């Protein structure tokens, strides 16, 4: 049941709203590398190609960060999609820890590039359960299990020198991760596009219709390039059908509220096993998402419009995070990619075409790391680290 049109709360930010559109691709261009998708990952690939002194053309179907990269929760959380103490079981602990350290470095890199106003290193809170008293016995029992899991995560991170503290406060109890950060995701992507756009040629509103050997085509133009990087998370299996089965598209949904008392959420907060999340900006607006596991089957879709059922769920969540009523101003959704073992993909799909994606709902930091690995694979033939599926 579709109930709303996506209107993205982050886009109300004055800097985002005032950013002019980039041109459509309307020529035949030649470059060393063509990057398809200008979200956080594609822009990292563009930046890496620029750093190497090579020429690059980037194209996006919509504007910069038209997809999940401009529509997400804005959480910059260290670690893989699966908490490191659990990822360690399937991927090998060293591999999971190595990715954890890479993601923390990525936050520092982003903060250096964009400044502390865009990348706010305020930490994050992982709650056991949700704010407020449990609503029933099942919720109380689940909270106890999650509390034990927080203990296990605390033990594992402390043992391996990753900063973590116990959190007990007005929201409940859990962990505080001081090295994590928050952002308006659209600000991040537009900021990177401005930096790299001084050297790279970046085009918007140019959906790629064909990816051939050394050639990328859109309705209005084309790019000849020795290497093509496809940096698309959700709908990667639509653009590159040969990846069906290796990555599957799901929809995630969010909403934004009118301002409530500023400072209720001093940092990004996520609870109930990370399924529910909220952050508050300096004006007091709250950005809330979640519910995917409650509506699992219907959310396996390439549709990107919000639904009444999930939005209703998130709206009552918003009330729990702020302990009071909220007025919803924006509702939206976007596509992300999931992989069978939660390892992101970095893989050569066709000769000269390398794809990255499948970040399992947390690609803000892993995406750029994967995108740089995709460039290294495509240019140097360097095999991606073991925390990627190849």
Site track 342-381 with ligand FAD (rule: CB under 6 A), x = hit: ---------------x-x-xxxxx-x--------------
3-state secondary structure of 42: helix
Shorter beta-carbon distance to ligand FAD: residue 164 or 236: 236
36 contributes a contact to ligand FAD by CB under 6 A: yes
Shorter beta-carbon distance to ligand FAD: residue 39 or 384: 39
State which of residues 57, 66, 162, 265 lies at the interface with ligand FAD (CB under 6 A).
66
Q: Measuring CA to CA, which residue among 280, 279, 303, 281 is closest to residue 290? A: 279
Site track 217-256 with ligand FAD (rule: CB under 6 A), x = hit: --------------xxxxx---x------------xxx--
What are the CA-CA distances from residue 37 to residues 44, 100, 218, 378, 390 (Å)? Answer: 11, 25, 13, 16, 20
State which of residues 9, 37, 80, 191 lies at the interface with ligand FAD (CB under 6 A).
37
Residue 255 host element (H or E): strand 248-257
Positive or negative: CA dihedral 135, 137, 141, 142: negative
Q: How far is the CB of 381 from ligand FAD (least distance, A)?
A: 22
Q: How far is the CB of 259 from ligand FAD (least distance, A)?
A: 20
State which of residues 31, 35, 56, 59 lies at the interface with ligand FAD (CB under 6 A).
59
Which residues share a beta bridge with 208?
Answer: 218
State which of residues 49, 128, 175, 208 lies at the interface with ligand FAD (CB under 6 A).
208
Shorter beta-carbon distance to ligand FAD: residue 61 or 379: 61
Which residues share a beta bridge with 339?
Answer: none
Q: How far is the CB of 204 from ligand FAD (least distance, A)?
A: 9
- CA pair distance 382, 376, nearest whole angstrom: 6
Residues 108-127 that bind ligand FAD (CB under 6 A): none
User: Two tokens at 277?
Assistant: 């999340």
∠ CA(364), CA(373), CA(336), 5° rounding? 35
Q: How far is the CB of 231 from ligand FAD (least distance, A)?
A: 5
299 contributes a contact to ligand FAD by CB under 6 A: no
291 contributes a contact to ligand FAD by CB under 6 A: no
Q: In 10 A of CB 161, how many CB atoms?
A: 8
Q: In 10 A of CB 280, how many CB atoms?
A: 25
Residue 237 host element (H or E): helix 236-239
73 contributes a contact to ligand FAD by CB under 6 A: yes
Cβ neighbours of residue 389 closer than 8 Å, sequence gap 6 or more:
246, 339, 341, 343, 344, 345, 346, 347, 358
CA dihedral 198, 382, 105, 195 (to 10 degrees): 0
207 contributes a contact to ligand FAD by CB under 6 A: yes
Q: How far is the CB of 153 from ligand FAD (least distance, A)?
A: 18
State which of residues 39, 47, 271, 378 lies at the interface with ligand FAD (CB under 6 A).
39
State which of residues 42, 79, 80, 306 lies at the interface with ligand FAD (CB under 6 A).
42
**# chain residues binding ligand FAD, by CB under 6 A:** 43
State which of residues 9, 47, 74, 88 lies at the interface with ligand FAD (CB under 6 A).
74
- CA pair distance 294, 316, nearest whole angstrom: 14
Which DSSP string do the residues of 195-221 spell out, in sequence order? HHTTTSEEE-S--EEEEETTEEEESS-
State which of residues 31, 47, 72, 372 lies at the interface with ligand FAD (CB under 6 A).
72
Shorter beta-carbon distance to ligand FAD: residue 123 or 363: 363
Q: Which residues bind ligand FAD (CB under 6 A)?
A: 36-42, 59-62, 65-69, 71-75, 207-208, 231-235, 239, 252-254, 289, 334, 336, 357, 359, 361-365, 367
């Amino acid at each position: 049941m579709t109930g709303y049109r996506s209107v993205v709360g982050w886009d109300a930010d004055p800097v985002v709203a005032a950013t002019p559109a980039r041109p459509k691709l309307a020529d035949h261009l030649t470059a060393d590398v063509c990057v398809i998708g200008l979200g956080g990952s594609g822009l990292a690939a563009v930046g890496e190609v620029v750093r190497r002194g090579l020429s690059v053309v980037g194209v996006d179907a919509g504007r910069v960060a038209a997809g999940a990269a401009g529509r997400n929760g804005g959480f910059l959380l260290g670690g893989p999609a699966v908490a490191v103490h659990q990822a360690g079981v399937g991927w090998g602990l060293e591999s999971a820890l190595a990715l954890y350290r890479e993601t923390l470095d990525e936050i520092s890199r982003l903060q250096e590039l964009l400044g502390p106003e865009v990348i706010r290193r305020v930490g994050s809170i992982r709650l056991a359960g949700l704010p407020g008293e449990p609503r029933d016995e099942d919720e109380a029992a689940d909270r106890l299990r999650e509390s034990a899991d927080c203990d296990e995560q605390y033990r594992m991170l402390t043992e391996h020198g990753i900063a973590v503290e116990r959190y007990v406060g007005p929201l409940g109890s859990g962990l505080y991760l001081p090295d994590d950060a928050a952002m308006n995701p659209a600000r991040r992507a537009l900021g990177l596009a401005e930096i790299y756009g001084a050297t790279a040629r970046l085009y918007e509103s140019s959906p790629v219709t064909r990816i051939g050997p050394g050639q990328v085509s859109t309705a209005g133009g084309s790019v000849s390039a020795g290497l093509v990087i496809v940096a698309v998370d959700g709908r990667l299996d639509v653009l590159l059908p040969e990846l069906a089965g290796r990555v599957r598209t799901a929809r995630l949904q969010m909403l934004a509220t009118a301002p409530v008392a500023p400072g209720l959420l001093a940092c990004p907060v996520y609870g109930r096993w990370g399924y529910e999340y909220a952050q508050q900006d300096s004006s007091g607006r709250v950005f809330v998402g979640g519910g995917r596991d409650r509506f699992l089957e219907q959310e396996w879709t390439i549709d990107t419009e919000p639904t009444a059922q999930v939005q209703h769920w998130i709206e009552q969540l918003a009330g729990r995070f702020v302990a009071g009523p909220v007025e919803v101003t924006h509702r939206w959704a976007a596509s992300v990619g999931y992989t069978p073992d939660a390892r992101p993909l970095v893989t050569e799909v066709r000769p000269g075409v390398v794809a990255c994606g499948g970040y399992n709902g947390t690609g803000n930091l892993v995406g750029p790391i994967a995108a740089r690995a995709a460039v290294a694979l495509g240019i140097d033939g360097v095999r991606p680290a073991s925390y990627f599926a190849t």
